[in-house]
Structure 1
Protein backbone atom coordinates (compact mmCIF):
# COMPACT_ATOMS: atom_id res chain seq x y z
CA UNK A 1 0.00 0.00 0.00
CA UNK A 2 1.32 3.42 -0.96
CA UNK A 3 0.82 6.66 0.91
CA UNK A 4 -1.74 7.70 -1.71
CA UNK A 5 -3.98 4.76 -0.82
CA UNK A 6 -5.07 6.33 2.45
CA UNK A 7 -6.47 9.74 3.33
CA UNK A 8 -4.09 12.34 4.72
CA UNK A 9 -4.71 15.16 7.20
CA UNK A 10 -2.81 18.38 6.52
CA UNK A 11 -2.63 21.15 9.11
CA UNK A 12 -2.16 24.69 7.75
CA UNK A 13 0.11 25.56 10.70
CA UNK A 14 2.65 22.96 9.54
CA UNK A 15 3.86 25.58 7.03
CA UNK A 16 4.27 28.15 9.80
CA UNK A 17 6.12 25.60 11.90
CA UNK A 18 8.49 24.64 9.05
CA UNK A 19 9.32 28.20 7.95
CA UNK A 20 9.06 30.03 11.26
CA UNK A 21 10.98 33.32 11.03
CA UNK A 22 12.56 32.61 7.64
CA UNK A 23 12.63 35.13 4.79
CA UNK A 24 10.35 33.91 1.99
CA UNK A 25 9.63 35.33 -1.47
CA UNK A 26 6.64 34.98 -3.75
CA UNK A 27 6.62 35.92 -7.43
CA UNK A 28 3.28 36.73 -9.02
CA UNK A 29 2.65 37.78 -12.58
CA UNK A 30 -0.29 38.13 -14.88
CA UNK A 31 -2.54 40.41 -16.88
CA UNK A 32 -4.99 43.23 -16.24
CA UNK A 33 -7.94 43.78 -18.58
CA UNK A 34 -10.61 46.45 -18.55
CA UNK A 35 -14.16 46.68 -19.81
CA UNK A 36 -15.26 50.28 -20.43
CA UNK A 37 -18.97 49.49 -20.19
CA UNK A 38 -21.01 46.51 -19.01
CA UNK A 39 -21.61 45.47 -22.63
CA UNK A 40 -18.12 46.28 -23.89
CA UNK A 41 -15.34 43.77 -24.70
CA UNK A 42 -12.48 42.95 -22.35
CA UNK A 43 -9.30 44.71 -23.47
CA UNK A 44 -5.83 43.90 -22.22
CA UNK A 45 -4.26 47.06 -20.84
CA UNK A 46 -1.42 45.98 -18.52
CA UNK A 47 0.87 43.18 -17.62
CA UNK A 48 1.58 43.07 -13.88
CA UNK A 49 4.75 41.96 -12.14
CA UNK A 50 4.53 41.50 -8.39
CA UNK A 51 6.22 40.11 -5.32
CA UNK A 52 5.75 39.44 -1.66
CA UNK A 53 8.59 39.41 0.83
CA UNK A 54 7.07 37.35 3.62
CA UNK A 55 7.82 36.00 7.08
CA UNK A 56 5.60 33.56 8.94
CA UNK A 57 5.63 32.79 12.63
CA UNK A 58 4.13 30.03 14.74
CA UNK A 59 2.72 31.72 17.84
CA UNK A 60 1.01 30.63 21.04
CA UNK A 61 -1.90 32.37 22.71
CA UNK A 62 -4.53 31.69 25.32
CA UNK A 63 -6.45 29.60 22.78
CA UNK A 64 -3.43 27.62 21.59
CA UNK A 65 -1.23 27.87 18.51
CA UNK A 66 -1.88 30.21 15.61
CA UNK A 67 0.04 31.57 12.65
CA UNK A 68 1.14 35.14 12.07
CA UNK A 69 2.19 36.46 8.66
CA UNK A 70 3.98 39.70 7.76
CA UNK A 71 4.26 40.81 4.13
CA UNK A 72 5.79 43.55 2.09
CA UNK A 73 3.99 43.62 -1.25
CA UNK A 74 4.86 45.38 -4.48
CA UNK A 75 3.11 45.10 -7.84
CA UNK A 76 4.15 47.05 -10.94
CA UNK A 77 1.93 47.79 -13.92
CA UNK A 78 3.81 47.10 -17.14
CA UNK A 79 3.41 47.56 -20.88
CA UNK A 80 1.62 44.40 -22.09
CA UNK A 81 3.76 44.20 -25.24
CA UNK A 82 7.25 45.03 -23.95
CA UNK A 83 7.02 44.29 -20.23
CA UNK A 84 8.52 47.70 -19.44
CA UNK A 85 7.44 49.22 -16.14
CA UNK A 86 4.93 52.04 -16.68
CA UNK A 87 5.39 55.25 -14.70
CA UNK A 88 2.77 57.24 -16.65
CA UNK A 89 -0.32 56.19 -18.60
CA UNK A 90 -2.78 57.97 -20.86
CA UNK A 91 -6.30 56.55 -20.48
CA UNK A 92 -7.70 58.22 -23.60
CA UNK A 93 -6.16 60.43 -26.34
CA UNK A 94 -8.34 63.34 -25.17
CA UNK A 95 -6.96 63.22 -21.62
CA UNK A 96 -3.46 63.98 -20.29
CA UNK A 97 -1.25 61.20 -18.94
CA UNK A 98 -1.44 60.35 -15.24
CA UNK A 99 1.11 58.87 -12.86
CA UNK A 100 0.82 55.11 -12.51
CA UNK A 101 0.54 54.21 -8.83
CA UNK A 102 1.73 50.65 -8.18
CA UNK A 103 0.56 48.26 -5.52
CA UNK A 104 3.00 49.24 -2.76
CA UNK A 105 1.96 47.85 0.60
CA UNK A 106 4.90 48.13 2.96
CA UNK A 107 3.03 46.22 5.68
CA UNK A 108 0.26 43.67 5.35
CA UNK A 109 0.02 41.37 8.35
CA UNK A 110 -2.50 39.17 10.07
CA UNK A 111 -3.17 36.04 12.09
CA UNK A 112 -4.21 32.62 10.82
CA UNK A 113 -6.27 30.18 12.86
CA UNK A 114 -5.40 26.47 12.80
CA UNK A 115 -7.25 24.35 10.25
CA UNK A 116 -6.96 20.70 9.24
CA UNK A 117 -7.80 19.58 5.70
CA UNK A 118 -8.34 15.93 4.81
CA UNK A 119 -6.99 14.88 1.41
CA UNK A 120 -9.00 11.87 0.18
CA UNK A 121 -7.37 8.53 -0.56
CA UNK A 122 -5.96 8.39 -4.07
CA UNK A 123 -5.56 12.17 -4.38
CA UNK A 124 -2.15 13.90 -4.19
CA UNK A 125 -3.72 17.24 -3.21
CA UNK A 126 -7.05 18.91 -2.61
CA UNK A 127 -7.98 21.91 -4.74
CA UNK A 128 -9.86 24.78 -3.14
CA UNK A 129 -11.51 27.60 -5.06
CA UNK A 130 -12.52 30.52 -2.85
CA UNK A 131 -14.76 33.31 -4.14
CA UNK A 132 -14.95 36.38 -1.90
CA UNK A 133 -17.52 39.08 -2.74
CA UNK A 134 -16.50 42.58 -1.66
CA UNK A 135 -19.04 45.35 -1.13
CA UNK A 136 -18.44 48.38 1.07
CA UNK A 137 -18.63 52.20 0.97
CA UNK A 138 -15.81 53.46 -1.24
CA UNK A 139 -13.14 55.11 0.98
CA UNK A 140 -12.81 58.09 -1.40
CA UNK A 141 -16.50 58.74 -2.06
CA UNK A 142 -17.16 61.40 0.57
CA UNK A 143 -14.11 63.61 0.00
CA UNK A 144 -14.53 66.14 -2.84
CA UNK A 145 -10.80 66.29 -3.63
CA UNK A 146 -10.97 62.67 -4.84
CA UNK A 147 -14.09 63.14 -6.96
CA UNK A 148 -12.38 62.32 -10.28
CA UNK A 149 -10.65 59.33 -8.71
CA UNK A 150 -13.69 57.52 -7.31
CA UNK A 151 -15.79 55.05 -9.34
CA UNK A 152 -18.86 55.54 -7.15
CA UNK A 153 -20.36 55.52 -3.70
CA UNK A 154 -19.66 51.82 -3.18
CA UNK A 155 -16.80 49.48 -4.00
CA UNK A 156 -18.21 46.29 -5.49
CA UNK A 157 -15.84 43.51 -6.49
CA UNK A 158 -14.94 39.86 -6.15
CA UNK A 159 -11.67 38.10 -5.35
CA UNK A 160 -10.91 34.54 -6.41
CA UNK A 161 -8.25 32.30 -4.91
CA UNK A 162 -7.35 28.84 -6.20
CA UNK A 163 -5.12 27.07 -3.66
CA UNK A 164 -4.06 23.49 -2.89
CA UNK A 165 -3.71 21.46 0.28
CA UNK A 166 -0.84 19.10 -0.54
CA UNK A 167 0.43 15.80 0.85
CA UNK A 168 4.01 15.90 2.17
CA UNK A 169 6.48 15.47 -0.67
CA UNK A 170 3.98 16.33 -3.43
CA UNK A 171 4.43 19.24 -5.84
CA UNK A 172 1.23 21.28 -6.06
CA UNK A 173 -0.06 23.05 -9.15
CA UNK A 174 0.48 26.80 -9.36
CA UNK A 175 -1.92 28.83 -7.17
CA UNK A 176 -4.02 31.47 -8.91
CA UNK A 177 -5.41 34.83 -7.84
CA UNK A 178 -8.00 36.86 -9.74
CA UNK A 179 -9.98 39.99 -8.98
CA UNK A 180 -12.94 41.76 -10.58
CA UNK A 181 -13.17 45.36 -9.40
CA UNK A 182 -13.82 48.99 -10.39
CA UNK A 183 -11.10 51.04 -12.06
CA UNK A 184 -8.27 52.26 -9.83
CA UNK A 185 -8.15 55.78 -8.31
CA UNK A 186 -4.93 56.76 -10.10
CA UNK A 187 -6.64 56.16 -13.49
CA UNK A 188 -8.69 59.34 -12.93
CA UNK A 189 -11.62 58.35 -15.12
CA UNK A 190 -14.18 60.57 -13.38
CA UNK A 191 -16.87 59.92 -10.81
CA UNK A 192 -19.11 56.92 -11.59
CA UNK A 193 -17.32 55.98 -14.82
CA UNK A 194 -18.52 52.39 -15.44
CA UNK A 195 -15.15 50.85 -16.40
CA UNK A 196 -14.20 47.69 -14.53
CA UNK A 197 -10.96 45.71 -14.26
CA UNK A 198 -10.12 42.02 -14.31
CA UNK A 199 -6.82 40.86 -12.75
CA UNK A 200 -5.53 37.33 -13.37
CA UNK A 201 -2.21 36.16 -11.90
CA UNK A 202 -0.21 33.09 -11.04
CA UNK A 203 1.69 32.87 -7.74
CA UNK A 204 4.94 30.98 -7.18
CA UNK A 205 7.17 30.76 -4.13
CA UNK A 206 10.83 31.16 -5.10
CA UNK A 207 13.97 30.43 -3.12
CA UNK A 208 15.80 33.73 -3.55
CA UNK A 209 15.11 37.42 -4.13
CA UNK A 210 17.10 37.22 -7.37
CA UNK A 211 14.46 34.86 -8.82
CA UNK A 212 11.85 37.62 -8.91
CA UNK A 213 11.06 39.52 -12.10
CA UNK A 214 14.28 41.37 -13.08
CA UNK A 215 12.50 44.68 -13.66
CA UNK A 216 10.93 44.38 -10.22
CA UNK A 217 14.34 43.73 -8.65
CA UNK A 218 15.73 46.83 -10.38
CA UNK A 219 12.92 49.07 -9.09
CA UNK A 220 13.23 47.72 -5.54
CA UNK A 221 16.98 48.19 -5.32
CA UNK A 222 16.92 51.65 -6.88
CA UNK A 223 13.83 53.15 -5.21
CA UNK A 224 12.36 51.03 -2.38
CA UNK A 225 15.05 48.72 -0.94
CA UNK A 226 12.98 48.07 2.20
CA UNK A 227 10.83 45.70 0.10
CA UNK A 228 13.71 43.22 -0.19
CA UNK A 229 13.32 42.14 3.44
CA UNK A 230 10.48 41.66 5.90
CA UNK A 231 10.67 42.83 9.52
CA UNK A 232 10.37 40.28 12.32
CA UNK A 233 7.72 42.45 13.97
CA UNK A 234 6.03 45.78 13.33
CA UNK A 235 3.28 47.88 14.87
CA UNK A 236 2.64 49.82 11.66
CA UNK A 237 -0.94 49.67 10.34
CA UNK A 238 -1.67 47.63 7.23
CA UNK A 239 -1.36 49.51 3.95
CA UNK A 240 -3.87 49.22 1.11
CA UNK A 241 -3.83 50.66 -2.39
CA UNK A 242 -6.32 53.31 -1.25
CA UNK A 243 -4.38 54.40 1.84
CA UNK A 244 -1.17 54.51 -0.23
CA UNK A 245 -2.89 56.67 -2.88
CA UNK A 246 -4.18 59.06 -0.21
CA UNK A 247 -0.77 59.23 1.50
CA UNK A 248 0.99 60.26 -1.71
CA UNK A 249 -1.85 62.15 -3.40
CA UNK A 250 0.14 65.40 -3.60
CA UNK A 251 3.03 63.60 -5.29
CA UNK A 252 0.57 61.99 -7.70
CA UNK A 253 -0.95 65.36 -8.56
CA UNK A 254 2.54 66.72 -9.23
CA UNK A 255 3.19 63.95 -11.76
CA UNK A 256 5.76 62.12 -9.61
CA UNK A 257 7.30 58.82 -10.61
CA UNK A 258 6.18 55.92 -8.44
CA UNK A 259 6.89 54.03 -6.29
CA UNK A 260 7.81 56.84 -3.95
CA UNK A 261 11.02 56.19 -2.04
CA UNK A 262 10.32 54.81 1.44
CA UNK A 263 12.46 54.34 4.51
CA UNK A 264 12.23 52.01 7.49
Structure 2
Protein backbone atom coordinates (compact mmCIF):
# COMPACT_ATOMS: atom_id res chain seq x y z
CA UNK A 1 0.00 0.00 0.00
CA UNK A 2 1.14 3.52 -0.79
CA UNK A 3 1.29 5.69 2.34
CA UNK A 4 3.42 8.41 0.76
CA UNK A 5 0.63 11.03 0.85
CA UNK A 6 -1.95 12.20 3.35
CA UNK A 7 -5.34 10.50 2.92
CA UNK A 8 -8.64 12.27 3.57
CA UNK A 9 -11.26 10.00 5.11
CA UNK A 10 -14.97 10.82 5.15
CA UNK A 11 -17.01 9.61 8.12
CA UNK A 12 -19.91 8.97 5.74
CA UNK A 13 -18.00 6.08 4.16
CA UNK A 14 -19.47 3.75 6.81
CA UNK A 15 -23.01 4.74 5.81
CA UNK A 16 -22.30 4.40 2.08
CA UNK A 17 -20.81 0.95 2.50
CA UNK A 18 -23.42 -0.36 4.94
CA UNK A 19 -26.59 1.44 3.87
CA UNK A 20 -29.55 -0.59 5.15
CA UNK A 21 -27.52 -3.62 6.25
CA UNK A 22 -28.23 -5.42 9.52
CA UNK A 23 -25.07 -5.14 11.64
CA UNK A 24 -24.10 -6.52 15.03
CA UNK A 25 -21.64 -5.21 17.61
CA UNK A 26 -20.40 -6.98 20.72
CA UNK A 27 -19.00 -5.04 23.66
CA UNK A 28 -17.71 -5.92 27.09
CA UNK A 29 -15.67 -4.48 29.89
CA UNK A 30 -15.82 -3.31 33.49
CA UNK A 31 -17.68 -0.76 35.58
CA UNK A 32 -15.86 1.06 38.35
CA UNK A 33 -17.21 3.38 41.00
CA UNK A 34 -16.10 6.02 43.41
CA UNK A 35 -18.61 5.80 46.23
CA UNK A 36 -17.82 9.28 47.55
CA UNK A 37 -15.27 12.03 46.84
CA UNK A 38 -11.88 11.04 48.21
CA UNK A 39 -12.62 7.32 48.25
CA UNK A 40 -10.62 4.95 45.99
CA UNK A 41 -11.96 3.69 42.67
CA UNK A 42 -13.31 0.14 42.99
CA UNK A 43 -14.40 -2.38 40.39
CA UNK A 44 -18.13 -2.87 40.91
CA UNK A 45 -19.36 -4.91 37.94
CA UNK A 46 -18.35 -6.41 34.64
CA UNK A 47 -20.66 -5.86 31.69
CA UNK A 48 -21.47 -7.65 28.44
CA UNK A 49 -23.48 -5.97 25.73
CA UNK A 50 -24.67 -5.90 22.14
CA UNK A 51 -26.04 -3.54 19.53
CA UNK A 52 -28.20 -4.54 16.61
CA UNK A 53 -27.61 -1.64 14.23
CA UNK A 54 -28.66 -0.26 10.87
CA UNK A 55 -27.15 2.79 9.20
CA UNK A 56 -28.54 4.83 6.33
CA UNK A 57 -27.15 7.54 4.09
CA UNK A 58 -29.78 10.27 3.82
CA UNK A 59 -30.16 13.55 1.98
CA UNK A 60 -30.28 16.67 4.11
CA UNK A 61 -31.32 20.22 3.09
CA UNK A 62 -28.52 21.83 5.10
CA UNK A 63 -25.60 19.41 4.79
CA UNK A 64 -26.37 17.57 1.55
CA UNK A 65 -25.87 14.11 3.04
CA UNK A 66 -25.95 12.79 6.59
CA UNK A 67 -25.60 9.40 8.24
CA UNK A 68 -28.51 8.10 10.28
CA UNK A 69 -28.12 5.20 12.69
CA UNK A 70 -30.70 3.09 14.56
CA UNK A 71 -29.76 0.78 17.43
CA UNK A 72 -31.32 -1.80 19.67
CA UNK A 73 -29.04 -2.12 22.70
CA UNK A 74 -28.61 -4.51 25.62
CA UNK A 75 -26.11 -4.40 28.48
CA UNK A 76 -25.98 -7.00 31.26
CA UNK A 77 -24.38 -6.28 34.62
CA UNK A 78 -22.21 -9.20 35.76
CA UNK A 79 -20.22 -10.25 38.80
CA UNK A 80 -16.73 -8.73 38.37
CA UNK A 81 -15.00 -12.01 39.26
CA UNK A 82 -17.25 -14.87 38.12
CA UNK A 83 -18.76 -12.95 35.16
CA UNK A 84 -22.17 -14.41 36.00
CA UNK A 85 -25.17 -12.23 35.12
CA UNK A 86 -26.47 -10.58 38.27
CA UNK A 87 -30.11 -10.71 39.32
CA UNK A 88 -29.57 -8.77 42.59
CA UNK A 89 -27.01 -6.44 44.10
CA UNK A 90 -26.25 -5.86 47.78
CA UNK A 91 -24.33 -2.60 48.33
CA UNK A 92 -23.36 -3.41 51.94
CA UNK A 93 -23.13 -6.68 53.85
CA UNK A 94 -26.22 -5.96 55.95
CA UNK A 95 -28.16 -3.88 53.41
CA UNK A 96 -31.19 -4.77 51.31
CA UNK A 97 -30.66 -6.87 48.19
CA UNK A 98 -31.84 -4.88 45.18
CA UNK A 99 -33.01 -6.14 41.76
CA UNK A 100 -30.50 -5.37 39.02
CA UNK A 101 -32.15 -3.54 36.14
CA UNK A 102 -30.11 -4.40 33.07
CA UNK A 103 -29.77 -2.05 30.10
CA UNK A 104 -32.45 -2.69 27.48
CA UNK A 105 -32.78 0.27 25.15
CA UNK A 106 -35.21 -0.80 22.46
CA UNK A 107 -34.36 2.27 20.36
CA UNK A 108 -31.44 4.68 20.29
CA UNK A 109 -31.10 6.61 17.05
CA UNK A 110 -29.46 9.75 15.77
CA UNK A 111 -27.92 11.50 12.80
CA UNK A 112 -24.40 12.76 12.12
CA UNK A 113 -23.09 15.11 9.48
CA UNK A 114 -19.94 14.44 7.51
CA UNK A 115 -16.51 14.94 9.05
CA UNK A 116 -13.25 14.78 7.12
CA UNK A 117 -10.35 13.14 8.91
CA UNK A 118 -6.81 13.30 7.55
CA UNK A 119 -4.70 10.16 7.92
CA UNK A 120 -1.07 11.41 7.75
CA UNK A 121 1.41 10.01 5.27
CA UNK A 122 3.20 6.96 6.55
CA UNK A 123 0.20 5.82 8.61
CA UNK A 124 -2.44 3.23 7.76
CA UNK A 125 -4.95 4.56 10.25
CA UNK A 126 -5.57 7.27 12.80
CA UNK A 127 -7.43 7.10 16.13
CA UNK A 128 -9.73 9.80 17.42
CA UNK A 129 -11.69 10.22 20.67
CA UNK A 130 -15.14 11.79 20.42
CA UNK A 131 -16.10 13.30 23.78
CA UNK A 132 -19.85 13.87 24.26
CA UNK A 133 -20.95 15.84 27.35
CA UNK A 134 -24.34 14.81 28.74
CA UNK A 135 -26.42 17.25 30.77
CA UNK A 136 -30.19 17.29 31.06
CA UNK A 137 -32.95 17.33 33.70
CA UNK A 138 -32.96 13.97 35.48
CA UNK A 139 -36.08 12.04 34.36
CA UNK A 140 -36.79 10.93 37.95
CA UNK A 141 -36.25 14.24 39.73
CA UNK A 142 -39.79 15.62 39.74
CA UNK A 143 -41.71 12.71 41.27
CA UNK A 144 -41.41 12.09 45.04
CA UNK A 145 -41.73 8.30 44.69
CA UNK A 146 -38.37 8.23 42.88
CA UNK A 147 -36.49 10.29 45.48
CA UNK A 148 -34.30 7.40 46.68
CA UNK A 149 -33.49 6.44 43.10
CA UNK A 150 -32.40 9.83 41.75
CA UNK A 151 -28.88 11.26 41.85
CA UNK A 152 -30.06 14.89 41.63
CA UNK A 153 -32.02 17.46 39.67
CA UNK A 154 -29.64 17.30 36.71
CA UNK A 155 -28.03 14.29 35.07
CA UNK A 156 -24.41 15.12 34.27
CA UNK A 157 -22.08 12.73 32.50
CA UNK A 158 -19.64 12.28 29.64
CA UNK A 159 -19.35 9.60 26.97
CA UNK A 160 -16.13 8.84 25.10
CA UNK A 161 -16.09 6.98 21.79
CA UNK A 162 -12.61 5.95 20.65
CA UNK A 163 -12.60 5.01 16.95
CA UNK A 164 -9.95 4.30 14.35
CA UNK A 165 -10.24 5.43 10.72
CA UNK A 166 -8.29 3.48 8.11
CA UNK A 167 -7.07 3.84 4.56
CA UNK A 168 -8.84 1.57 2.05
CA UNK A 169 -7.62 -1.99 2.47
CA UNK A 170 -5.86 -1.46 5.80
CA UNK A 171 -6.81 -4.15 8.35
CA UNK A 172 -4.67 -3.51 11.44
CA UNK A 173 -6.56 -0.77 13.29
CA UNK A 174 -7.32 -1.37 17.00
CA UNK A 175 -10.81 -2.14 18.28
CA UNK A 176 -13.19 0.68 19.10
CA UNK A 177 -13.82 1.62 22.74
CA UNK A 178 -16.71 3.16 24.63
CA UNK A 179 -16.35 4.77 28.04
CA UNK A 180 -18.83 6.66 30.19
CA UNK A 181 -18.62 8.71 33.37
CA UNK A 182 -22.01 9.15 35.00
CA UNK A 183 -24.00 9.06 38.24
CA UNK A 184 -25.04 5.77 39.80
CA UNK A 185 -27.88 3.78 38.24
CA UNK A 186 -31.43 4.35 39.60
CA UNK A 187 -31.88 0.70 40.64
CA UNK A 188 -28.91 1.05 43.03
CA UNK A 189 -31.19 3.09 45.37
CA UNK A 190 -28.47 5.13 47.02
CA UNK A 191 -30.72 8.01 48.03
CA UNK A 192 -31.38 11.43 46.55
CA UNK A 193 -28.24 13.37 45.73
CA UNK A 194 -25.78 10.57 46.66
CA UNK A 195 -22.39 11.54 45.16
CA UNK A 196 -21.33 8.11 43.85
CA UNK A 197 -20.05 8.07 40.27
CA UNK A 198 -19.69 5.19 37.80
CA UNK A 199 -17.06 4.75 35.12
CA UNK A 200 -17.72 2.29 32.27
CA UNK A 201 -14.76 1.00 30.23
CA UNK A 202 -15.58 -1.28 27.28
CA UNK A 203 -14.12 -2.62 24.06
CA UNK A 204 -16.32 -2.94 20.97
CA UNK A 205 -16.03 -5.40 18.11
CA UNK A 206 -18.17 -5.96 15.06
CA UNK A 207 -19.30 -9.54 14.44
CA UNK A 208 -20.63 -11.02 11.24
CA UNK A 209 -23.83 -12.56 12.59
CA UNK A 210 -26.15 -12.52 15.58
CA UNK A 211 -24.99 -16.01 16.58
CA UNK A 212 -21.43 -14.71 17.06
CA UNK A 213 -22.48 -12.46 19.94
CA UNK A 214 -21.89 -13.58 23.54
CA UNK A 215 -23.91 -16.82 23.97
CA UNK A 216 -25.61 -15.41 27.08
CA UNK A 217 -26.95 -12.51 25.03
CA UNK A 218 -28.08 -14.78 22.20
CA UNK A 219 -30.00 -16.97 24.67
CA UNK A 220 -31.57 -13.96 26.43
CA UNK A 221 -32.73 -12.31 23.21
CA UNK A 222 -34.25 -15.44 21.77
CA UNK A 223 -36.06 -16.29 25.01
CA UNK A 224 -37.23 -12.86 26.25
CA UNK A 225 -36.32 -10.07 23.82
CA UNK A 226 -36.77 -11.32 20.25
CA UNK A 227 -37.27 -7.80 18.83
CA UNK A 228 -33.65 -7.02 19.75
CA UNK A 229 -32.28 -9.43 17.15
CA UNK A 230 -33.26 -7.14 14.27
CA UNK A 231 -33.30 -3.39 13.77
CA UNK A 232 -36.17 -1.67 11.92
CA UNK A 233 -35.47 0.51 8.89
CA UNK A 234 -37.24 3.40 10.60
CA UNK A 235 -38.78 4.03 13.99
CA UNK A 236 -40.85 6.86 15.48
CA UNK A 237 -40.38 5.75 19.09
CA UNK A 238 -38.46 8.08 21.43
CA UNK A 239 -34.93 7.15 22.42
CA UNK A 240 -34.68 5.12 25.62
CA UNK A 241 -32.22 5.66 28.46
CA UNK A 242 -31.64 3.63 31.62
CA UNK A 243 -33.53 6.18 33.71
CA UNK A 244 -36.53 6.17 31.37
CA UNK A 245 -36.54 2.36 31.27
CA UNK A 246 -36.40 2.22 35.08
CA UNK A 247 -39.27 4.68 35.35
CA UNK A 248 -41.38 2.66 32.90
CA UNK A 249 -40.80 -0.61 34.79
CA UNK A 250 -40.71 0.75 38.34
CA UNK A 251 -43.61 -1.44 39.51
CA UNK A 252 -41.82 -4.56 38.23
CA UNK A 253 -38.69 -3.45 40.09
CA UNK A 254 -40.63 -3.05 43.35
CA UNK A 255 -42.09 -6.54 42.89
CA UNK A 256 -38.58 -7.97 42.50
CA UNK A 257 -39.15 -9.25 38.98
CA UNK A 258 -36.31 -10.46 36.81
CA UNK A 259 -34.82 -7.99 34.35
CA UNK A 260 -34.79 -7.24 31.51
CA UNK A 261 -38.56 -7.39 31.19
CA UNK A 262 -39.86 -9.48 28.29
CA UNK A 263 -40.39 -7.52 25.05
CA UNK A 264 -41.87 -9.34 22.07
CA UNK A 265 -43.39 -6.43 20.13
Is the shorter-chain TM-score for this pair beyond 0.5, marking a shared fold?
A: yes
Q: CA deviation at 1:132?
A: 2.7
Where does residue 182 of structure 2 map in the other structure? 181
Partner residue in 1 for 2:121: 121
Q: What secondary structure does 2:258 align onto?
A: coil
Name 2:252's counterpart in structure 1. Answer: 251
Find the aligned partners of 2:26 and 2:236 in 1 and give their Cα distance. Answer: 26
What RMSD over aligned residues (CA atoms) do the two structures have, in Å?
Answer: 1.3
Write out aligned runs for 1:138-149 (5 A). 138-149=138-149
SS at match of 2:118: strand
Counterpart Cα distance in 2 of 1:136 and 1:209:
34
TM-score, structure 2 as length reference: 0.95
Q: Secondary structure at the match of 1:48?
A: strand
- Does the aligned pair in 1 maintain the 2:224–2:264 contact within 8 Å? no
Give the match's secondary structure for 2:253.
Answer: helix
| Alignment map for 1:156-171 (pairs within 5 Å) | 156-171=156-171
Aligned to 2:151: 151
Q: Determine the structure 1 residue equivalent to 2:44.
A: 45
Residues 134 and 109 of structure 1, relative CA distance in 2, 3 Å threshold: closer
In structure 1, stretches of 5+ residues that fail to align are: none
CA distance in 2, matches of 1:133, 1:60: 27
> How far apart, in 1, do the equivalents of 2:154 and 2:112 lie?
28
User: Which residue is equivalent to 1:90?
Assistant: 90
Corresponding residue for residue 209 of structure 1: 210
Structure 1 residue 129: deviation in Å? 1.7
Task: State the aligned residue count.
Answer: 263
Match of 2:81 in 1: 81
Deviations 1:171-224 (A, max 9, x none): 221111111111110100111222111110001111111111111111111111
**Counterpart in 1 of 2:264?**
263
Q: 1 CA distance for matches of 2:143 and 2:200?
A: 27
Cα distance in 2, alignment partners of residues 27 and 248 from structure 1: 26
124-133 or 234-243, which deviates more: 124-133
Shift, 1:61, TM fit? 3.3
Q: What's the CA shift string for 1:34-93, capped at 9, x where partnerless?
A: 111111111111110000000111122334222111100000001111111111111122
Report which stretch shifted further, 127-136 or 171-180. 127-136
